[in-house]
């Protein structure tokens, strides 16, 4: 059985943009990442790996299920319960920008805190 990351830890980061095909080359050259296409059916998103082959991030197209995700680098924090965290966010003056919904086997959502900062929540 896979052990879940500790609550509160950063578990993923990605960038969602209008044209991931163009931007992937920017990051590949500027920071030295490797780009691995990930089929989304009629287009590709991209997994990003370091020089040792460790997948460390993603660059996604702002299409389909990702059309509501802000165009910025987004970190995802492990929470106990995405639904409850989303409710807490709203009660504390934040906003839900996307989700809660499934991403693979995980639940996630994108929130905006009362100051406008954006964060992904996942479990």
Choose which CATH entry (3.40.190.10, 3.40.30.10, 3.40.50.970, 3.10.180.10) describes domain 11-63.
3.10.180.10
Model pTM?
0.86
End-to-end CA gap in the chain: 15
| pLDDT tens digits, 73-83 | 999 999 999 99
What is the 3 state secondary structure string of 48-113?
EECCCCCEEEEEEECCHHHCCCCCCEEEEEECCCHHHHHHHHHHCCCEEEEEEEEECCEEEEEEEC
Choose which CATH entry (3.10.180.10, 3.50.50.60, 3.40.50.300, 2.60.90.10) describes domain 68-123.
3.10.180.10
| pLDDT tens digits, 3-43 | 789 999 999 999 999 999 999 999 999 999 999 999 999 99
Here the tokens at position 9 are 């830890």
11-63 and 68-123 have identical folds? yes
């Amino acid at each position: 059985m896979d052990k879940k990351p500790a609550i509160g830890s950063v578990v993923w980061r990605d960038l969602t943009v209008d044209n991931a095909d163009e931007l992937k080359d920017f990051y590949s050259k500027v920071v030295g990442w490797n780009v691995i296409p990930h089929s989304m059916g009629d287009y590709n998103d991209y997994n990003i790996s370091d020089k040792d082959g460790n997948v460390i991030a993603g660059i996604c197209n702002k299409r389909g299920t990702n059309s509501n995700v802000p165009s910025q680098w987004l970190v995802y924090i492990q929470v106990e319960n995405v639904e409850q965290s989303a409710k807490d966010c709203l009660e504390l003056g934040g906003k839900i920008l996307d989700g809660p919904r499934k991403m693979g086997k995980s639940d996630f959502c994108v929130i905006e805190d009362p100051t406008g900062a954006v964060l992904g929540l996942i479990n």
